[in-house]
Amino acid sequence: MDVHILGSINVDTILSVDALPAAGETVLAGQVTRLPGGKGANQAVAAARMGARVSMTGAVGADTDGAWMRGVLAGEEVDVGGIVTLPDVPTGAAMIAVDAAGENQIIVAPGANALLAPATAQDSGLILAQLEIPLDTIAAAFAASAGPSLLNAAPFIPAARALFADTDILIVNQHELAGYAEAPAISGPAEAIAAARMLRAHPQQQVVVTLGGQGAVAVFGDEALHAPALSITPRDTVGAGDCFCGALAALIAEGLDLAAALPIANAAAALCTQTVGAIPAMPARAAVMAALAP
Ligand code: RIB
């Protein structure tokens, strides 16, 4: 099955800082790097490097950033035929501060992503969407799709709950899970499994929760599983969640179940934290399988 990504395309400006700024605080950055990103584009490249045949629906502005991002994705063998170029609006941009421990803060200026219309969505294969584009566009694509619908409900947007009923596999991190489930902070696998069961919108829905250094959990039917993370010291966590989602989509499209797919997606996300930026950090499948070898 092919993987179709419906999502955002951004140019990321990544600023290295010793410590992330608190509210009202000014901090000085060291290195400043412009790299390709956006949750949709990141997930498209992660899935392609995992070996999937990938197409993407998205929007860029009629500017040099848009042309650059289209070229980056095409260079990763992502089918960019569904990416529209919109006049009079800039390509999406993200300002990202990364601290010495690899943690980050991200502010996104959506630009063209906010204008991605439902009519530009496609309807075949497995579809994977995130929330940096209009929710109506995602709803229309899920309604039209005959294949499995995967939703990475990030960033946390309360109104996105309306999409959950039409989602086959819901993917959230522990903070998003706490927000959507209106649960207290989630600190470990057992709490994540309990909250994911509460969040499930229909009995067939599978819910996957990423837990950073604690790996990921999934609930499906009456079952639940926890796949621990690779033990690794992160250098830059930007795009690690996207890497997990893109890799997971590629593996599900191949026919793997969650028990087989989660450890591989975890390993991909761990490797992603070893390189600065999002798209440049997405690992090739061979590297992921080598990291999992005993
Ligand atoms: O998840 C990381 C991504 O979030 C960045 O690439 C940035 O563009 C924002 O979309």
The CA 222 to ligand 1 mean position distance, Å, reads 34
Tens-place pLDDT, residues 111-141: 999 999 986 555 668 999 999 999 999 999 9
Which of 12, 60, 98, 133 is the best mutation target for the ligand 1 pocket, counting ligand atoms within 8 Å of the beta carbon and taking the most? 12
Examine residue 45 and state whether it is found in any structural domain, yes or no: yes
**Could you give the CA distance from residue 201 to residue 170 in angstroms, rounded to a whole number?**
9
More confident call, 44 vs 231: 44
User: In this predicted structure, which of 40-44, 182-186, 288-292 has the lowest mean pLDDT?
Assistant: 182-186
Containing domain of residue 264, as a range? 3-8+37-92+111-292
Burial 149-178 (b: 16+ CB within 10 A, else e): bbbbbbbeeeebeebbebbbbbbbbbebbb
Provide mean pLDDT across the span 73-81: 97
Q: What is the pTM of this model?
A: 0.96
Examine residue 106 and state whether it is found in any structural domain, yes or no: no
39 in ligand 1 pocket by Cβ < 6 Å?
yes
Provide mean pLDDT across the span 152-174: 98
Residue 11 CA: nearest ligand 1 atom is 8
pLDDT band at 264 (very low <50, low <70, confident <90, very high): very high
CATH number at residue 45: 3.40.1190.20
Examine residue 200 and state whether it is found in any structural domain, yes or no: yes
The residues carrying an active-site annotation are 242
Burial (Cβ within 10 Å: 0-12, 13-18, ≥19) of residue 53: middle
Examine residue 99 and state whether it is found in any structural domain, yes or no: no
Examine residue 211 and state whether it is found in any structural domain, yes or no: yes
132 in ligand 1 pocket by Cβ < 6 Å?
yes
Examine residue 44 and state whether it is found in any structural domain, yes or no: yes
Provide mean pLDDT across the span 153-164: 98
Examine residue 14 and state whether it is found in any structural domain, yes or no: no
Residue 39 CA: nearest ligand 1 atom is 10
Q: What is the pLDDT of residue 184?
A: 87
**CB atoms near residue 19 (< 10 Å):** 12
pLDDT band at 47 (very low <50, low <70, confident <90, very high): very high
pLDDT band at 42 (very low <50, low <70, confident <90, very high): very high
Tens-place pLDDT, residues 279-289: 999 999 999 99
Total of domains in the chain? 1
What's the token pair of residue 75?
């260079």
Give SS3 for 135.
Answer: helix
Residue 42 CA: nearest ligand 1 atom is 6
Examine residue 18 and state whether it is found in any structural domain, yes or no: no
Residue of minimum CA distance from atom 1 in ligand 1: 239
Q: What is the dihedral of CA 39, 40, 46, 51, to 10 degrees?
A: 170
